[in-house]
Structure 1
Amino acid sequence: MKRSMKTLFVLVLALALSCAACTPSATVITKETITQLAGSPVLQSSEALTGKWTLDGKAFWLKGVRTADLYDSQTFQAVASYDVGEYGALYDTSPDGKLIAYALDEPSIVLYDVIAEQEVARIPQDAFVQLAAFSPDGKTLGIASSDTWSIDLWDITAGQVSQTLTGFETAAPVYSFQFGADGKTILWMARGTIQPMDMASAALGPEMNHEDFISSFALSPDGDLLATSAAGSVDGDFKPLVTIWDAHSGEALAVFSNDDYFSSLAFSPDGKLLAAGNNVKILFWDASTYQPAGEIITAAGYVASLQFSPDGTRLLTCTTEGSVQMWQVQ
């Protein structure tokens, strides 16, 4: 019965998305079209925690703790799927829609091609890998070790480390990193501190500090703006906040407060919109005027992941309840 219901969900969703694909041209999501956004039927997934588009927008990944599923973005049919197993740790999925990076119970990273169904590389490590992520162009894998405050940039084509980044220092023992959407910046993060670094020069930018732990962050496509979510004080109240920073100077340009926790952030591909997910809701702001631009109601749960398609016409969302939806202008 469960299998039949899931099949029905996929068929209904595929029909809805294929009908949308029949329109002459899709409409870009802007502040003027937010009120026209319509969500697809919900695809329920027990594993999906994050969604990620491929570079061409023809497919997207749904990534869980151990599973990676690749879907056709028009039909919502699964193209490939891989489970790293009970003792595996899934790190990331590649923008080209082929590779996943994961680890087993040994200090090494496996690169596996889910389309060709074969291992393409095994990257030896001296210690357990805390985090690994693909660059926006998919040519580099960033690898953060658990015993050093450094990130190795692994050239996937050459099969070797092309650069090692260091210099981020904080009293917090736990840290993470993320490639900026501009493809030129690494964002270092530890608890309430975040700091950009130019990858070419390895020069650190300004340090931006928060009163509480940073729950999510995103860099604008041009690398000029950094959005972060963390609780902070506003008029004597401690509330969930979204802050927009000048990524070059570290100046806080705007602060938005809310009564509910912000669980995800994303800029539109043209950098004109900032979207923030919280409990069953996505809020939008104009990224140039910092004014509210609208909101939409999503499926049950906090919006754990949201990402605009490369052409800006669709928004993919995943909630903490495993509900996956595609949003388009109707």
Structure 2
Amino acid sequence: MIQKRSSPQLIDYLTLVALSLIWGTSYILIKRGLEVFTPAQVATLRLGISALALLPFAVVHLRKISWSQVPLLIVIGITGTGLPSFLFPFAQTELSSSLTGMLSSLTPLCTFIVAYFIFGSREGSNRQLAGVLVGLCGAILLAWAAPGVTGQTTRFLYTGFILMACFCYAISSNLVGAYFKETSALTITVTSFVLVGTPALIWALSAGAVLDVVLSTADGAGWWALGYVAFLAVFSTVLSSVVFFRMVQRTGAVFASTVSYIIPLVALSWGLLDGEALSYWQLPAVALVLVGVWLSKR
């Protein structure tokens, strides 16, 4: 039986740092994939390769779940990976990878909102509710101050895609914490990913015409893009999800979501190294978001 800890230990904080480094790199990998593939191709490849990587474990772990758990596992797969895999590439057609990574720090706020209003966790205080407002104000400023040729209306629209993805993550982590405390993290990952990723892989290889794109690009650009998405799928999706779900079981959904504290810094670093612009207003905007996250966790 998996025992939930009363308070996070050193190993939990080290895990947060490792996950932050892995997930903070995801946005530059998506950017590289979009240089060759469409957003839908990036998403379905990510989901399909994830399912393919976990397929050898499916026979064992599918036997560990009951039919009554399948609907919830499908929801966890859709919200935890399925929808975000589409939302982030579509957002990054108009937003920089660094901005996308910084906006993803809203996940803890969304986790608190979902836990409070949907899962009935009434442990929130006025300070935590104020933190949600501060964080959302920071996100608005972050999108408004973003440099680039894209208009503000477009930036706010595509920022909405990131917010939707954050709420998807919040729903997934709360479902794991509420209904699968006694289930192996690997079982959760294998079953939810295979259920969602298998149809995506079939589409990518048929109507998605992914192989045609890879073979038709010059100088091996298609193979490089495929490699970036494969790395994104195996490390940033599969392995990190196993670790994350396990951490949710050990420490709870809200603590586990604090991985988003460091993700913006990693994403920002990759963006600057890749030549992306940064405005002065974005730094205090990120600070507001992180202060809001801190207040919401008090």
Q: TM-score range, shorter-chain basis?
A: under 0.3
Name the structure, 1 or 2, with higher relative contact order (CA <8 Å, separation 6+): 2
Q: Write 1 or 2 for the structure with the bigger share of helix.
A: 2
TM-score, normalised to structure 2's length? 0.24
Q: Give the structure with higher Rg (CA).
A: 1
